[in-house]
Amino acid sequence: MKTSIILPTYNEKDNIVELIQAIFATLRPLDLDFEVMVVDDNSPDGTAQAVQQNFGQNGQVRLWVRAGERGLATALRYGIDHSTGDILVFMDTDFNHDPAIIPQMIKFLEYYDIIIGSRFVMAGGMEDRFRQFSSLVYNYGIRFLFGTPVHDNLSGFFSIYRPKLTALDLDQIYYGYGDYFIRLLMVAHKRGYHMLEIPVFYRLRTRGHSKTQFVTILTQYTRAILALRLKLWTGRMR
């Protein structure tokens, strides 16, 4: 089966080339059929140009530049719609998500519906201890509200078979920022999908600047969670 690794980018010129090289170094020795999908939101720092200059002749790297729209969730949705793989792997481009565990994420789909790279299972974690504690507490709140078994509902690093994903109503899921992943897991849990968490360790960003403003994102996620809880109560989210 073919795997599509979907990479949403905005101002990641300093990371994207090295990340794609790391993905190739991990997957090529395994003789897997795969493609790397870069969905760039017209980054002013030249992210798309760096991809084109380094991989323009590589048919396994596909670059899409969105000029009229911006946002993490919609970029991922764009990647879903334009990729060709039977297996979809989603990951960030700041090296929080380690390419070395992609083979596990593909292999374990033989037994589970969704594989999640998790900070909050044994051997997982974060170098930023404050954010690790804050995210852990926030995840406890999500698990309490929704009764989900998933420990890291904010990860965004996951794999899934395309038919399993497209069986969900993607219009109800893929909007906003990282809150899309909370909605995805809640709907998948409601559908009875079997999910496995494998450990991932987030290291501090060494290049570029984070687009995540902690207080702003926390507020956005809280609003999204309350809206989702209401939709589930009223039966408008299936």
SS (H, E, C) 162-194: HHHHHCCCHHHCCCCCCHHHHHHHHHHHHCCCC
Across the chain, what does the average pLDDT equal? 92
Domains in the chain and their CATH numbers?
Answer: 2-234 (3.90.550.10)
- Give the other-Cβ count within 10 Å of 204's Cβ: 12
Q: For position 146, what pLDDT does the model report?
A: 87
pLDDT score for 213: 60
What are the backbone angles phi and psi of residue 211, rounded to the nearest 5°?
-90, 0
What local confidence, expressed as pLDDT, does residue 198 receive?
Answer: 98
Higher pLDDT, 109 or 210: 109
CB 115 within 8 A of CB 158: yes
CA 104, CA 231: separation in Å to the nearest integer?
Answer: 34
Between 192 and 69, name the one with better pLDDT: 192
Tokens of 165: 């994903």
- Tell me what pLDDT residue 10 has: 95
Environment class of 143 (CB within 10 Å of its CB; exposed 0-12, middle 13-18, buried 19+): middle
Distance, CA of 114 to CA of 101 (rounded, Å):
14
Digit-coded pLDDT (tens) for 115-166: 999 999 999 999 999 989 999 999 999 998 888 899 999 999 999 999 999 9
Q: Supply the pTM of this predicted model.
A: 0.92
Q: What is the DSSP letter of 86?
A: S
What is the percent of the chain where pLDDT is above 90? 77
